[in-house]
Amino acid sequence: MLKPTINTGIVKTKAKSLGFDFCGIAAAVPLDDDARRLENWLNKGYHGTMSYMERHFDIRVNPSLLVPGAKSVITLLKNYYPSQQQSPGTPGISKYAFGKDYHLVIREQLNQFLDELRTEIGEIEGRGFVDSAPVLERSWATRSGLGWIGKNGNLITKQQGSFFFIATLITDLDLEPDDAFAKDYCGSCTRCMDACPTDAILPDKTIDGSKCISYFTIELKEAFMPAEFKEKLDNWSFGCDTCQDVCPWNRFSKPHHEPAFTPIAEVLNLSTKEWKEMSETTFNQLFRHSPIKRTKWKGMMRNVGNIREGNVEM
């Protein structure tokens, strides 16, 4: 094994060559403070029906339980801010879902990343994750010096805002950790809190997930939404970007350069009427490689069915 300084340089060079926008490193230690915050959040029921968040609690806060002998946690950011926007009047789709499913794209890139590190450095034990395992990726990103967690719960970078996917690679590789990001640059700004249609953003950077539009349009599996929130969807049919769209730091967002995230034409252009008339077969064909498939045809029909006629072009 090469010494940590050289290994660290190799890691960061490889990350950039594979198209990751930012790379940070933290020591693989238990996240004791995060464990207490997560436990409190779960006890208040802010996860709604997302019972999977209650499982594997110990693994979420201790990287050594995911990778025995873990020494370093590498955090990678991948920009997804699009150069194209949806046509006016179309049901709102969160920008992260414009193109190919990021799980598929980034998982392949993480595997290549680990393979290339093994070729250059030697035998490495490691596991890569992208929103697919009990990993507190935003906490690791902050510890890795990449940014701070904003009042809207998103990781925010000073350079380009918050439209990033976060990938995590836990490894037994001995690396030099970056300094943690210690400052919060949200200041007294409350734009995200004021703009949230369902008042899901609470003080102290707490998000009531059970009130979030993304929860209602993606995670909630019931055939009907609670009436008190159905009227507050603000035309969103899959996810919600409101808290990011109003964030002043996102004026620095730049279009991504990932071909796989090129928007699906239907996402940008389908009217509410066209969505409502879509068959399940067509839905499955169009979105078989898209994050939108997660809500399934029935969920999407429920979501677009809640859009009021006067709000968008029919």
How far is 166 from 21, CA to CA, in rounded Å? Answer: 10
pLDDT digits (tens, 9 = 90+) for 9-54: 999 999 999 999 999 999 999 888 887 787 788 888 877 877 766 6
pLDDT of residue 18: 95
Residue indicated by tokens 């734009």: 191
pLDDT of residue 56: 66
Least confident span in 4-8, 77-81, 124-128, 229-233: 229-233
How far is 238 from 229, CA to CA, in rounded Å? Answer: 15
Confidence of residue 1 (pLDDT cuts 50, 70, 90): low
How many whole angstroms from its chain centre is CA 184? 20
- Active-site residue identified among 21, 32, 34, 131: 131
* β-bridge partners, 22: 77
In the annotation, is 131 catalytic? yes
The tokens describing 70, both together, are 């873990």
The predicted model gives 252-269 an average pLDDT of 97
The tokens describing 138, both together, are 């935003």
pLDDT digits (tens, 9 = 90+) for 57-111: 677 778 998 899 999 999 999 999 999 999 998 999 999 999 999 999 999 999 9
pLDDT digits (tens, 9 = 90+) for 133-147: 668 899 999 999 999
Q: Does residue 159 contact residue 79 with C-beta atoms inside 8 Å?
A: no
Q: Does residue 33 contact residue 143 with C-beta atoms inside 8 Å?
A: no
**pTM across the whole model:** 0.92
Pairing of strands 164-171, 126-129: antiparallel
